[in-house]
Amino acid sequence: MSIPTAVWGTGNVGRAAIRAVAANPQLRLAAVIVNDADKAGRDAGELAALDRDLGVAATTDVDAALAEVAGGALAYAAAGELRPDDAVADIRRALASGAVVVTPSVYALYDHRGAPAELREPIEAACRAGGSALFVSGIDPGWGNDLLPVLVSGLASEVEQIRCQEIFDYSTYDAEDSVRYIVGMGQPMDYDPPMVAPGVPSMVWGGQVRLIARALGVELDELRETSSRQPLEATVTTALGEFAAGTQGALRFEVQGIVDGVPRIVVEHVTRITLAAAPDWPQPPDGGDGAHRVIVEGRPRIEINVEATDEGDNRSAGGNATAANRLVNAIPWLRSAPPGLYDGLDVPLAPSAYLRTPDPAMRS
């Protein structure tokens, strides 16, 4: 019997989650929750950029939607970074109702073992109350900063450093406010982007560094952060509008896991608003607009580049889709797992259930 599944949110990750649920034969899309009243009543297929209706109308009625998936699952894709307390409350509510939950929205739970007790314990109580499980993963895009680097490290005889990179041109990223005001693109060079405010990178990505360290059996001395910015040499116009010469055109930062005084595990972002910005920084392997890269420095040196496209060959959308698919495809495993919290190393990577003649509508 298929697992009734709701998707909460229809943004970049939510659209991909709807498509993933609709495609998975082990799941049944039972509800789509939206916060925007203008989206209520619209078919999930339309909201997910499919060429067909799915027969599920979006709703703002959270109680009714969760009642549809009691004993099932919820893919929570609301913007947790903008409303973290609300996101935690939403997730606890769903867990206590009996739905397993998968989400990228609560960064502190990427490494739930290291999360503060005041955050972790009420969620564990909700899992016990509902007999449910929670899996938090997905940022950049989850598997690229936990499972993949750990697997690749097993192909080396000696490992000196593991580096996980996200290298992206954000000119096609469908979130203009985040690009301009959180990342800082197009802002004066004396603007302080919230994304790299002291402590923020470690709060968001530090859990993934700790996961890799745990898998490799090493103790971290500390986490360190580095960041740098470069201005645009010329004004550029993108799908997001104009970005003036002299304003920020590129941002690069690292979260470093220090072992014996040396950065051994590194999560690095290289972000541009145009490929012409910061030409001396790491580039995608084929001159494209984005890639996720894992580098194992050691013997042998190993480099793996992953490039995914979706929604009209958009690589930002492709990255979001892989993050959503990793989460959604974990639902059957979680539904049979004991109640509790799980991370990217706990949950096995599920083989695809989709190997069949593709539905052209799913490629929209």
| Cis, peptide link before residue 141, omega less than 30° from 0 | yes
The residues facing 5 across adjacent strands are 29, 73
The residues facing 299 across adjacent strands are 158
Closest CA to 75 of 328, 364, 336: 328
- Angstrom distance (rounded) from CA 117 to CA 9: 27
State the DSSP H helix or E strand holding residue 321, giving kind and residue range, or none if neither.
helix 315-328
In contact, 170 and 179? CB cutoff 8 Å? yes
Give pLDDT, residue 40. Answer: 96
Give pLDDT, residue 341. Answer: 98
Q: List the Cα angle 115/118/121 in 5-degree steps.
A: 80
Give pLDDT, residue 315. Answer: 82
Assigned token pair, 349: 């990577």
Domain 3-140+320-363 has CATH 3.40.50.150: no
Give pLDDT, residue 350. Answer: 84
The structural domains of the chain, with segments of one domain joined by +, span: 3-140+320-363, 156-299
Give pLDDT, residue 349. Answer: 87
**Strand 236-238 vs strand 73-76: parallel, antiparallel, or unpaired?**
unpaired
The residues facing 272 across adjacent strands are 169, 250
In contact, 236 and 224? CB cutoff 8 Å? no
- Angstrom distance (rounded) from CA 112 to CA 256: 19
Give pLDDT, residue 318. Answer: 87
Instruction: Return all residues near 57 (Cβ < 8 A) that are at least 6 apart.
Output: 32, 40, 41, 42, 43, 44
In contact, 352 and 173? CB cutoff 8 Å? no
Give pLDDT, residue 215. Answer: 95
- Angstrom distance (rounded) from CA 323 to CA 16: 9
pTM of the complete model: 0.91
Give pLDDT, residue 360. Answer: 58
Please list the pLDDT of the chain residue by residue as tens digits (364 residues).
899 999 999 999 999 999 999 999 999 999 999 999 999 999 999 999 998 999 999 999 999 999 999 999 999 999 755 577 899 999 999 999 999 999 999 999 999 999 999 999 999 999 999 999 999 998 777 899 999 999 999 999 999 999 999 999 988 787 899 999 999 999 999 999 999 999 999 999 999 999 999 999 999 999 999 999 999 999 999 989 999 999 999 999 999 999 999 999 999 999 999 989 999 999 988 777 788 999 999 999 999 999 888 988 888 888 889 999 999 999 999 999 999 999 999 999 888 876 666 665 555 5
In contact, 91 and 103? CB cutoff 8 Å? yes
Give Cα separations from 89 to 98, 283, 307, 340 (angstroms): 15, 40, 34, 16
